[in-house]
Amino acid sequence: MPAKILSGLEVSAVVKERVRKAVNELKGQGVQPCLATVLVGDDSASATYVSSKQKTAKELGIATRDHRLKASFMQQELLDLVQLLNNDPKVHGILVQLPFPKHIDEFAITSSISLLKDVDGLTPYSAGMLQNGMAHLKPCTPSGIIEILDYYGIDVAGMDAVILNRSNLVGKPLAFMLLERNATVTICHSKTKGLAEKLRGGDLIVTAVGNRGRFTLTADMVKEGAVVIDVGTSRHGGNMAGDVDFDSVKEKASWITPVPGGVGPMTIAMLMKNTVSAASISRGMQ
């Protein structure tokens, strides 16, 4: 039997509806939630992601600031802008789109974001809180994956979960979230030996490579009945494609996310949820 579809479109609609209600409640209490996005450079994929985040925020009644900066923008200028947004009481969430141009140190920037406005969950504080199971603001893509699993009633306790990605945005935080839910987690990456064998051991596979030329998850790498989550997006044969060879893998998996319509919409929905959480936190502190 072919795999059942894990529809990020469906789950994100539910999350966004909850966010819309929370925004209205906050507005009723005199708080206008506001998300500031910062994009450095002219990477077209990043520009598209930021525009989608801006558009969704507006649809849900969240105010936005949209800072688009030239690739030549200097690190100190970016630190100054983040500081300005940190100190602006009207701004509740700050998202600095990654990746940066080479001359900007990612850690220097992400760690300068106010802990209360860290809607990406990227500061060392948020990462440490996540490791301790105490985070309020968690990275959006892994939280979106957990939200999908919960929505479809997939309990990962005892599962062998194999994650193909070790970034601060996806692989590392997801590993802690799955551990928290009692999965046994393996993180794989470009230097992993025996990758196909490790993937075949996965009851849950999460792949986030985003380059079909370098990696495609094919059916021979998937255990019968595995849950397969595809975070990758890249151009493949003129179309947007995930990491997964969907047509063959769906014949082996029990559940599978499509691309598009899988994890992508969840990342944005969880960003909106984090923005509302950050706005609520700020109200509590006033």
- Three-class secondary structure of residue 284 per DSSP: helix
Report the residue number, 135 or 249, with the smaller CB distance to ligand GUN: 135
Q: Does 64 bind ligand GUN (CB under 6 A)?
A: no
Is residue 275 a contact residue for ligand GUN (CB under 6 A)? no
Catalytic residue among 16, 118, 120, 273: 120
Choice between 129 and 140, CB closer to ligand GUN: 140
Q: How far apart are CA 259 and CA 174, in angstroms?
A: 19
Q: Which residue has the tokens 């001359």?
A: 103
Choices 21-29, 93-101, 221-229, 242-250 (CB under 6 A): range interacting with ligand GUN? 93-101
User: Is-cis flag, bond preceding 142, omega within 30?
Assistant: no
Q: Compute the least distance from the CB of residue 99 to ligand GUN, in Å.
A: 7
Could you say whether residue 26 binds ligand GUN (CB under 6 A)? no
**What does the block give as tokens for 274?**
């984090």
Q: Is 226 in the site for ligand GUN (CB under 6 A)?
A: no
Minimum gap (Å) between residue 24 Cβ and ligand GUN: 25
Give yes or no for residue 96 binding ligand GUN (CB under 6 A). Answer: yes
> Is residue 140 a contact residue for ligand GUN (CB under 6 A)?
yes
Residue 262 neighbours by CB distance under 10 Å: 28
- Name the segment binding ligand GUN (CB under 6 A); options: 72-80, 95-103, 150-158, 217-225: 95-103
The long-range contacts involving 185-194, CB below 8 angstroms and separated by at least 24 positions, are: 185/161, 186/160, 186/161, 186/162, 187/163, 188/162, 188/163, 188/164, 189/164, 189/165
Contact 255, 152 (CB under 8 A): yes
Helix ranges (H only) for 75-228 are 75-86, 106-110, 124-131, 140-151, 171-180, 195-200
CB of 215 to ligand GUN, least distance (A): 18
Question: Does 120 participate in catalysis according to the annotation?
Answer: yes
Q: At what angle do helices 140-151 and 8-28 cross, to 10 degrees?
A: 110
Helix (H, G, I), strand (E, B) or coil at 171: helix
| 97 contacts ligand GUN (rule: CB under 6 A) | yes
Q: Is 53 noted as a catalytic residue in this protein?
A: yes
Residue closer to ligand GUN by CB (options 99, 225) is 99
- The kind and range of the H/E element at 96 are strand 93-96
Catalytic residue among 16, 53, 117, 198: 53
Q: 42 catalytic, yes or no?
A: no
Instruction: Please identify which of the residues 16, 54, 97, 117 carries the catalytic annotation.
Output: 97
Under rule CB under 6 A, residue 120 binds ligand GUN: yes
Residue number, 106 or 224, with CB nearest to ligand GUN: 106
Q: Which residues contact 175 (CB under 8 A, 6 or more apart)?
A: 163, 185, 187
Which of residues 97 and 165 has its CB atom nearest to ligand GUN in the complex? 97
Q: List binders of ligand GUN among 160-179 (CB under 6 A).
A: 169
Supply the minimum distance, in Å, between the C-beta of residue 26 and ligand GUN: 23
* Strand-strand pairing, 34-40 and 63-69: parallel
Q: Which is nearer to ligand GUN, 111 or 254 (CB)?
A: 111
Q: Which residue's structure tokens are 């998850």?
A: 217
Residues that are catalytic: 53, 97, 120
Positions in the binding site for ligand GUN (CB under 6 A): 95-98, 120, 140-141, 169, 267
